[in-house]
Structure 1
Amino acid sequence: MKKFDKLVAVFLAVYLIISLGLLVLFQGIDKRENSEYKVEINRIYFGLVKGSSFTEPDLSSYEFIKSVSFLPEYLSKSNENLDKFYKSNNGMEYEIKPWYDGDKLLGFLRFDYINSKVDNSFLLKVEIILLMFVVSMISILLYIRNSIIKPFNILSEMPYELSKGNFKGDMKESKDRYFGKFIWGINLLRENLDYHKIKELKLQKEKKLLLISISHDIQTPLNTIKLYAKAIAEEVYDTDEKKILAAKQIQEKSLEIENFVRDIIKTTSEEILEIEVVDGEFYLKDLIDKVILTYKEKCNLKMIDFMVEGYNNKLVKGDLDRAFEVISNILENAFKYGDGKEIKISFFEEDYCQLIKIFNTGDVVSQNEFNHIFDSFYRASNSEGKQGNGLGLYICKSIMEKMDGEIFAECEKEGMSFTLVFR
């Protein structure tokens, strides 16, 4: 904000300098032109032949002097002649000089001239136009300052607070056309983060209670196993029947522990993320336009051939934002695990379904790894040294299933492809 205020101050200073400069410039022109007509009068005056009858000089080479008239000395005594001689001629300015021949007064010379000095009204018009321009620019700058920069400085604090985990602060709704939707989005993000934080704490609590409960439940069969194992080791049982009975008890308790472990695995493999999908419809073109707008330039910067084949615009079932999330996850994986040569999106129609195939060149995963690529938290061997949590494709599959669609993967000769099926 301070830098912007300095910009406004500099703009005003430049205006003042220009305004004063114009005044000085026009005054200099005015003085120069005021002296030029006097030079011409003196040239004509000293060029006249004294002692002879007056002859009007040739004025074609003079810029300011338009006429020269002579009033003899003997006629100057008449008031009528004087009034006529001094009368203005067509609004021109004039100057009277006495004409001598030695000490003898011959008469008076009248020089009619046009003084082309700077018109003050022109300078005033220039100053007014300049002032109007400056006022307009200052108004625009102040509008930008108060309506855009100042609100943005206030908004810039919210992401910082969110990054620290402070989700309780609220931002007042604004009808400002620049930030109204942004504020709404920030508030929605804050509420969403707050909701997931509460949910995460709840899940952690449930997880802790589950572990405590399972630990307690496992402890009982585990103690039984330890007891029977100790009895067998110390040869407490003197008959084979008792030993067989103890072995059966160990086996039963082992099965109980195995069931507990299976329950843990089942619980952790169930819904990990709560993904909300809007049950609606959208046009295929809207989805592809959004993909191209987001990733075309990114591919150009990475020197990747990004090709989108032709398609027929169709109304498909699903959530536009979630569908874009699916394609985005696949493309981000292509950037991360592909060889950076080519990404191609092609389209097919089959059994009243719209198929979108996304192919990228690169090394394929092994058959064993391929069978698990849609599992949660699974990362193949080609992910070593690369950031990720193994949830991307799991989320893609969950979203497509919730939109009544499907997703398939295929290892091709030169890379990997993923096919999305929309109803």
Structure 2
Amino acid sequence: MKKFDKVIAITVLVYLVTSLGLLALLRGMNNKSSSEYKVEINKIYLGLVEGTSFAEPDLSSYEFIKSVSFLPESSQTSKGDIEEFYKNTNGLEYEIKPWYNEDKLLGYLRFNYVSRNSHNSILFKVEFMLFIFEAIIISVLFYVRNSILKPFNTLSEMPYELSKGNLKEELKENKNRYFGKFLWGINVLRENLDYHKIKGLKLEKEKKLLLLSISHDIKTPLNTIKLYAKAIEDEVYDTNEKKILAAKQIQEKSLEIENFVKEIIKTSSEDLLEIEVNNSEFYLKDLIDKVIVTYKEKCTLKMIDFIVGDYSNKLVKGDLNRAFEVIGNIIENAFKYGDGKEIKISFYEEDYCQLIKIFNSGETISENEFNHIFDSFYRASNARDKQGNGLGLYICKYIMKKMDGEIFAECEKEGMSFTLVLR
């Protein structure tokens, strides 16, 4: 804000300097004109008084003097002639000098002239226009300052506060045409972060309780297994029937422990994938346009050929934003694990379904790794030096199933492809 205030101050200063400069120029022109026209009057006057009769001089070489008239000194001069002599002519200024022949007054000479004072009105108009222009500029600068920069300066602290975990400070929403939607989005983000923070703490608490509960429940069958194993080791059972019964008990308790482990895995998966999917309908073009806007320039910067094939604009079922998330995840994986040559999106129709095939060039993975690429927390050998947690494709498959769709992967000769199936 301080830098912008300096810009406003500099603008005002430039205006004042320009305005004062014009006034100084005007004053200098007036002073110059007042001396120049007097020089011309004196020059003409000296030429006239050398004779004894008036003859109108040639004024073509004079800049200021426009005409010269003579009023003779005589008792026969009428009042009308006198009034006409002193009458203003076309707004010109005039100066009157007496004409003497030795000591005798012959009459009066009137010199009609124009001075540069007539330019005053033009300069004043320029000054006025300059003032109006400056007023408009200052008004625009203050509008930008108060309506754009000042609110943005207030908002600029909010992301920093969110990054520190300060999620309770709510921004007051207003009807600002520039930041109204941004304020709403920031508040929604803050609420979501706050919600997930509370949910995370609650989940952490539930996990600890679950671990304590399962630990307690596992102890019983585990102690039973240890007891039977010790008995077998010490040859407590003297018949095969008792040994078989002990083995059956160990097997039953092992199954109990296995069920507990399955319950833990199931609970962890449900908590992990609580993803909301709003199933409705959307046009395929809306999805592809969003993909192109997001990744076309990015691929250009990475010097990757980004090819989008022809398609018919079908109405498909699902969640537009979640479908974009799936495609985005696949393309981001192509950036990470592809060879940076080509990403191609093709379109097919099959059994009233829309198929979107995303191919990226690069090395393929082994058959064993390929069978696990949609598993949670699984990362293939080509991902060792890349950031990630092995959940991207797992989440993609989960989302597609929630949209009553499917996703398939295929190892091709020159790379990998993923095919999305939308109803």
TM-score, L = length of structure 2: 0.89
The 8 Å contact of residues 287 and 324 in structure 2, kept in 1 or not, is answered as yes
Give the Cα–Cα distance (whole angstroms) in 1 for the partners of residues 305 and 420 of structure 2.
Answer: 21
**Residue 346 (structure 1) aligns with:** 346
Give the Cα–Cα distance (whole angstroms) in 1 for the partners of residues 293 and 367 of structure 2.
Answer: 35
Note the aligned Cα RMSD (angstroms): 2.7
> Per the alignment, in what secondary structure is the counterpart of residue 357 of structure 1?
strand
CA shift, 1:49, in A, is: 7.3
CA shift, 1:111, in A, is: 1.9
**Residue 201 (structure 2) aligns with:** 201
The 8 Å contact of residues 282 and 319 in structure 2, kept in 1 or not, is answered as yes
Give the Cα–Cα distance (whole angstroms) in 2 for the partners of residues 263 and 71 of structure 1.
Answer: 126
CA shift, 1:140, in A, is: 2.2
Give the Cα–Cα distance (whole angstroms) in 2 for the partners of residues 243 and 63 of structure 1.
Answer: 137
**Residue 410 (structure 2) aligns with:** 410
Give the Cα–Cα distance (whole angstroms) in 1 for the partners of residues 94 and 49 of structure 2.
Answer: 21
> Per the alignment, in what secondary structure is the counterpart of residue 138 of structure 2?
helix
Deviations 1:155-183 (A, max 9, x none): 23332222222322322232222222222
CA separation of 1:51 and 1:150: change in aligned 2, threshold 3 A: closer
CA shift, 1:271, in A, is: 5.7
**Residue 62 (structure 2) aligns with:** 62
The 8 Å contact of residues 97 and 110 in structure 2, kept in 1 or not, is answered as yes
**Residue 74 (structure 2) aligns with:** 75
Give the Cα–Cα distance (whole angstroms) in 2 for the partners of residues 48 and 25 of structure 1.
Answer: 35
**Residue 315 (structure 2) aligns with:** 315
**2:325 aligned with 1:325:** yes
**Residue 20 (structure 2) aligns with:** 20
**Residue 400 (structure 2) aligns with:** 400
**Residue 277 (structure 1) aligns with:** 277
Deviations 1:217-243 (A, max 9, x none): 222232233334444545555666665
The 8 Å contact of residues 49 and 101 in structure 2, kept in 1 or not, is answered as no
**Residue 8 (structure 1) aligns with:** 8
CA shift, 1:358, in A, is: 1.3
**Residue 364 (structure 1) aligns with:** 364
The amino acid that maps onto 2:127 is E
CA separation of 1:150 and 1:88: change in aligned 2, threshold 3 A: closer
The 8 Å contact of residues 280 and 318 in structure 2, kept in 1 or not, is answered as yes
Q: Which runs of 5+ in 1 are unaligned?
A: none
Give the Cα–Cα distance (whole angstroms) in 2 for the partners of residues 238 and 45 of structure 1.
Answer: 157
Give the Cα–Cα distance (whole angstroms) in 1 for the partners of residues 168 and 84 of structure 2.
Answer: 95
Deviations 1:73-117 (A, max 9, x none): x53896756555444444422222344566776654332222242
The 8 Å contact of residues 76 and 107 in structure 1, kept in 2 or not, is answered as no
Q: 1:146-157 counterparts in 2 under 5 A? A: 146-157=146-157
**Residue 112 (structure 2) aligns with:** 112
Give the Cα–Cα distance (whole angstroms) in 1 for the partners of residues 112 and 255 of structure 2.
Answer: 129
Q: Which runs of 5+ in 2 are unaligned?
A: none
Q: 1:16-415 counterparts in 2 under 5 A? A: 16-48=16-48, 50-51=50-51, 53-71=53-71, 75=74, 80=79, 85-99=85-99, 107-234=107-234, 246-270=246-270, 272-415=272-415
The 8 Å contact of residues 29 and 116 in structure 2, kept in 1 or not, is answered as no
The 8 Å contact of residues 50 and 100 in structure 1, kept in 2 or not, is answered as no
The 8 Å contact of residues 377 and 391 in structure 1, kept in 2 or not, is answered as yes
The 8 Å contact of residues 379 and 389 in structure 1, kept in 2 or not, is answered as yes
Task: Report sequence identity in percent.
Answer: 75
Paired residue total: 422
The 8 Å contact of residues 76 and 82 in structure 1, kept in 2 or not, is answered as no
> Per the alignment, in what secondary structure is the counterpart of residue 203 of structure 1?
helix
The amino acid that maps onto 1:384 is R
The 8 Å contact of residues 171 and 183 in structure 1, kept in 2 or not, is answered as yes
Q: Which moved more, 1:40-49 or 1:237-246?
A: 237-246
The 8 Å contact of residues 30 and 118 in structure 1, kept in 2 or not, is answered as no
CA shift, 1:260, in A, is: 3.1
Deviations 1:324-383 (A, max 9, x none): 111111111111211111111121122111111111111222211111111122111111
Give the Cα–Cα distance (whole angstroms) in 1 for the partners of residues 274 and 375 of structure 2.
Answer: 16
CA shift, 1:280, in A, is: 1.0
Give the Cα–Cα distance (whole angstroms) in 1 for the partners of residues 264 and 392 of structure 2.
Answer: 23
CA shift, 1:248, in A, is: 4.9
> Per the alignment, in what secondary structure is the counterpart of residue 59 of structure 1?
coil
The amino acid that maps onto 1:356 is I
CA separation of 1:140 and 1:89: change in aligned 2, threshold 3 A: closer
> Per the alignment, in what secondary structure is the counterpart of residue 273 of structure 2?
coil
Give the Cα–Cα distance (whole angstroms) in 1 for the partners of residues 96 and 75 of structure 2.
Answer: 13
Give the Cα–Cα distance (whole angstroms) in 2 for the partners of residues 296 and 118 of structure 1.
Answer: 65
Give the Cα–Cα distance (whole angstroms) in 2 for the partners of residues 160 and 200 of structure 1.
Answer: 21
CA shift, 1:390, in A, is: 1.4
Give the Cα–Cα distance (whole angstroms) in 2 for the partners of residues 319 and 248 of structure 1.
Answer: 51
> Per the alignment, in what secondary structure is the counterpart of residue 359 of structure 2?
strand
Give the Cα–Cα distance (whole angstroms) in 2 for the partners of residues 189 and 85 of structure 1.
Answer: 88
The amino acid that maps onto 2:114 is I
Deviations 1:180-217 (A, max 9, x none): 22222222222222222222222222222222222222
TM-score, L = length of structure 1: 0.89
The 8 Å contact of residues 308 and 346 in structure 2, kept in 1 or not, is answered as yes
The amino acid that maps onto 2:137 is M
Q: Which moved more, 1:303-312 or 1:22-31?
A: 22-31
Deviations 1:372-401 (A, max 9, x none): 111122111111121111111112111111
Give the Cα–Cα distance (whole angstroms) in 1 for the partners of residues 244 and 193 of structure 2.
Answer: 58
Give the Cα–Cα distance (whole angstroms) in 1 for the partners of residues 257 and 90 of structure 2.
Answer: 123
The amino acid that maps onto 2:149 is I
> Per the alignment, in what secondary structure is the counterpart of residue 117 of structure 1?
helix
